Amino acid sequence: MSLALLLPLGLAALAALLVPLLLHLARRSQERVVTFAALRWLTSKPQPRRKRRFDEIPLLLLRLLLLAALALLLAEPVLYGQPDRRPWVAVAPGVDAAALPVVADMRRHWLLPGFPRIDPQAPGDTGAAETKLPGTSLSSLLRQLDADLPAGTPLSVVVPETLDGVDAERPRLSRRVDWQVVQGSPATMPVGPPVPAMQLMVRHGPDDTDALRYLRAAGSAWQTAASQAEVSQAAGSTPAAVDRPALVEIAPATQPLDARQRNLVWLGSEPLPQEVRDWIARGGTALLGAQVPLPALDAAAVLWRDSAGPLVRGTRLGQGRVMRLERALLPAQMPALLEPDFPARLQALFAEPATPPARVAAQDHRPRTGLAPYPEAPRPLAPWLALVVAGLFLAERWVANGPRRRQAA
């Protein structure tokens, strides 16, 4: 083990050790003059000069130790010790952990976020066919594990024959991995918790009353789909990605936008206000009416068309997306409003492209080597040193104001 300082300049605070030394050296003991009649007429002799000395040595030492500990705390000490290099076994979901051989002095963990330890006696660890990767790719977990383990720690990874949710290329690590492929169900990415239904803000002008009925109808269709999804989930079928009815908030264009929402329909004929542009640039998605001028959309990509031509064009704006209708929201100009799939087509406009699945044979996804080993992470000593400082401070206060000092005074 070796001690190091992240901020050696903090040791300059050791100069404060001179303060208690000078105070104790300059401190004079309090004396009371007592008149004694028999000695009044004696001739006083000069007293020999006494050497300067420190009083109350225990209190002085406590104060010096307290200041030294504070200076060391400012220097941010860390400890580089002997890391635990016992072999590691990472088991991917889908592998029956109970069927794996148990080797003494070997640590076994699930290849899941947090790398939970495998306990054969715990329910659910006897066979991990139901355990899934909750939103994190197996490749990312391998890279994180490689960075967390000390250099030189043997690593074995047990995976099923098929992997799902991996990166497009084989991961590159800093160590050689014992890649073991066994029989098991594919380690797949789960569907996850139900995705909240889409919420839509609608801001309109005084002449857009007729168009609002079709947006309200789309909201009613989303609400019906959400109710059917809840009934389906309760019956044990595969649930849709909805957990509550959709909300369509309709208000005049003068009402401010809700910063928590991400979907907007902006109708009218006036230029887009700057606050709406800023809202889109921060990550919002907006569908503009056909009369809203925005030159960036004049030659943008077509996102929806019918037999008569384009219906919606769209492009990026900052971190968000902006789209515009090519025709007014009226059946005479846009017959798709009366089609039964209009609510689904409208919802698809606001949906981000889904990430395609990435399934690969485990034998073809064996990690490569070539990365430089990650530096060893030191252990900070600041929490323990802070406890020492607190203990020294309490001891100094007790000695400075204790019973013995009061009796001496």
* Mean pLDDT in residue range 256-264: 87
Q: What confidence score (pLDDT) does residue 259 get? A: 82
Do 63 and 94 lie in a common domain? no
- Examine residue 332 and state whether it is found in any structural domain, yes or no: yes
Does the residue 374 lie in any domain?
A: no
Question: Could you report the per-residue pLDDT of 231-243, keeping only the tens digit for each?
Answer: 555 554 444 444 4
Digit-coded pLDDT (tens) for 326-341: 999 999 999 989 998 8
- Residue 55 pLDDT: 72
Other beta carbons within 10 angstroms of residue 52's beta carbon come to 7
Q: Is the pLDDT of residue 61 over 80?
A: yes
Mean pLDDT, to the nearest integer, of 266-277?
A: 90
Q: Are residues 215 and 233 in the same domain?
A: yes
Find the Cα–Cα–Cα–Cα dihedral 184, 186, 189, 191, rounded to 10°: -90
142 in the same domain as 57: no
Question: For 203-249, how does the pLDDT look when each residue is reduced to its tens digit (9 = 90+)?
Answer: 998 888 888 888 888 888 887 776 766 655 555 444 444 444 456 88
Q: Which whole number is the average pLDDT over 331-352? A: 88
| Domain of residue 23, residue span | 2-31+53-80+379-408
Please write the tens of the pLDDT for every residue from 11-55: 888 888 888 888 877 765 555 666 666 666 666 665 555 556 677
pLDDT for position 134: 44
Residue 223, Cα to own-chain centre: how many angstroms?
33
Same domain, 304 and 183: no
In a domain, 46, yes or no: no
* Band (8; pLDDT cuts 50, 70, 90): confident
Among all chains, which residue has been given the structure tokens 């004079």? 28
The answer on 334 and 217 residing in a single domain is yes
Would you say 287 and 324 are in contact if contact means Cβ atoms under 8 Å apart?
A: yes
The per-residue pLDDT for 124 is 44
Say if residue 129 is in the same domain as residue 237: no
Q: Please tell me whether residues 290 and 167 are part of one structural domain.
A: no
Does residue 6 lie in a domain region? yes
Report the mean per-residue pLDDT for the chain.
Answer: 79
* pLDDT tens-digit map of 76-112: 888 876 677 888 999 988 888 777 877 777 888 988 8
Residue 41 domain flag: no
Produce one character per residue of 151-177: b if its CB has 16 or more CB atoms within 10 Å, e if not. Answer: eebebbbbbbebbbbbeeeebebebeb
Residue-wise pLDDT tens digits, 357-394: 567 888 888 888 888 877 777 778 888 899 999 999 99
Structure tokens at 37: 């009649």
Residue 290 falls within a domain, yes or no?
A: yes
Q: How many structural domains is the chain composed of? A: 3
In-domain check, residue 39:
no
- Answer yes or no: do 72 and 213 share one domain: no
Looking at residue 162, what is its pLDDT? 86
Q: Are residues 213 and 286 in the same domain?
A: yes
| pLDDT (mean) for 123-136 | 45
pLDDT of the residue at 79: 80
Q: Residue 325: what pLDDT?
A: 93
Q: Say if strands 155-159 and 88-91 run parallel, antiparallel, or are unpaired.
A: parallel
Whether residue 148 is found in the same domain as residue 220: no
Strand partners of residue 250: 202
What distances in angstroms separate CA 131 from CA 91, 118, 126, 349, one per listed residue? 11, 12, 11, 34
Return d(Cα 393, Cα 277) in angstroms, integer: 57
Residue 350 has pLDDT above 50, yes or no: yes
Q: Does residue 299 sit in the same domain as residue 342?
A: yes
* Torsion, Cα of 143, 145, 146, 151 (10° steps): 160
Any idea which of 117-131, 159-173, 286-300 has the lowest mean pLDDT? 117-131
163 inside domain: yes
- Residue 130's pLDDT band, with cuts at 50, 70 and 90, is very low
Percent of the chain with pLDDT over 90: 18
Domain shared by 234 and 332, yes or no = yes
